[in-house]
Amino acid sequence: MEAPPFLAACRREPVPHTPVWLMRQAGRYMPEYRAVRERLGFLALCKSPDAAAEVTVTAALRLGVDAAIVFADILLVLEPMGVGLEFTRGDGPVIRRPVRSGADVDRLAEVDPAALGYVAEAVRRARAALPARVPLIGFAGAPFTLASYLVEGGGSRTYARTKALMTDPGAWRALMERLVRVVAAYLNAQIAAGADAVQLFDSWVGCLSPADYRAHVLPHVRALIAALTPGTPVIHFGTGTAGLLEAMRAAGGDVIGLDWRVDLDAAWARLGHDVAVQGNLDPVALLAPIPEIRARAAAILDQAANRPGHIFNLGHGILPETPVDHVRALVDAVHELSARR
């Protein structure tokens, strides 16, 4: 059997149509997801492998996308570090005991990989339930984005405390090295459980100058990617990364994620066509009428020009107010408009 289009595109091989999946494709915009969340809290859902696998598979099949992504969260790896992770209603995630100094870094608990075994189990069950033609993506937060939550205690507008810790080289290095170890083991466990590809979410790395990225992030992401089981495609994603693309490419990944603040064709030319790209529709475009969504999808496909190695996605996650039929219309438009003759 031929490789599924998503995996072929990760390897820049020819495809019958451009593969498409969407970040946060299982989430609050979907009634089936909201129904599961009425019985289970967010963490309880993540920790129930059957429910997490069900949410993963339902979203992928309902949308007709070319890949599923395991239902989990980038912050789950922080819980066994003993920092008091909570998902509060309305306010998003909170770290009760943030890391602000080298002494705080030394106090972090060493993570026993078994503590995150429920995610590997969700991967195993989702893989078993999915059709062979639908690959399953595992994922984790990248060290910088995870560190930003640990240090700030939640989301941030300026990342001032995270940048302050960066000026203490010993403490920063110790924190990044610890996160690299945990995340590498966690992603390798997902690969061993059946993940066909993995995505590294460096969602907030775009707040850094290129010089800070190169000095304080790049070597750690490179070490992390080098520690992953060979042969499984790695998608390296961030937002606000227009100033960082070459450096992210240098850090590694088979596929580089692009947000909508860059033109896909110009960004791909900068990266080089010997790497695959993923993106890059503005998630807000999914709130527009369907003809507008189709026109914007067509514009992105034109920029990709049927070159091997484009995976269609949004530039960031689906917004909760997005109509499900608009998401379906996008998936159909991508398949139809990109069908190779």
Binding mask 135-174 for ligand CP3 (x = CB under 6 A): ----x---------------x-------------------
Of 24-32, 245-253, 299-307, 332-340, which part binds ligand CP3 (CB under 6 A)? 24-32
C-alpha torsion angle, residues 315, 181, 42, 278 (rounded to 10) = 20
Output 5 or 138, the one with its CB closest to ligand CP3: 138
Residue 37 falls in the annotated catalytic set = yes
Residue 95 is encoded by which pair of tokens?
A: 């770290």
CA separation for the pair 128, 130 (Å, rounded): 6
Check if 73 is active-site.
yes
Which one of the listed residues 37, 100, 173, 222 is annotated catalytic?
Answer: 37
Pick the closer one to ligand CP3 by CB: 37 or 261: 37
Work out whether the CA dihedral 35, 37, 40, 45 comes out positive or negative.
positive
Q: Does 249 bind ligand CP3 (CB under 6 A)?
A: no
Residue nearer to ligand CP3 on the CB measure, 254 or 259:
259
Active site residue 261: no
**CB closer to ligand CP3 out of 173 and 328:** 328
Q: Looking at beta carbons only, is 12 or 221 nearer to ligand CP3?
A: 221
Rounded Cα distance, 28 and 48, in Å: 18
Distance between CA atoms of residues 307 and 292, nearest Å: 24
User: By CB under 6 A, what part of segment 90-109 binds ligand CP3?
Assistant: 92-93
In the set 25, 148, 241, 278, which binds ligand CP3 (CB under 6 A)? Answer: 25
Q: What angle do CA 28, 31, 35 make, to 5 degrees?
A: 90
| Identity of residue 106 | D
Q: Does 118 bind ligand CP3 (CB under 6 A)?
A: no
Q: Of these residues, 66, 73, 196, 202, which one is catalytic?
A: 73
Type of residue at 240: G
Nearest to 153 by CA among 222, 104, 203: 104
Contact window for ligand CP3 (CB under 6 A) among 8-16, 65-73, 180-188, 215-223: 65-73
- Distance CA(63)–CA(22), nearest Å, equals 10
- Least Cα distance to 22 among 294, 340, 286, 295 occurs for 286
For residue 7, state whether it binds ligand CP3 (rule: CB under 6 A): no
List, by residue number, the catalytic residues. Answer: 24, 28, 37, 73, 149
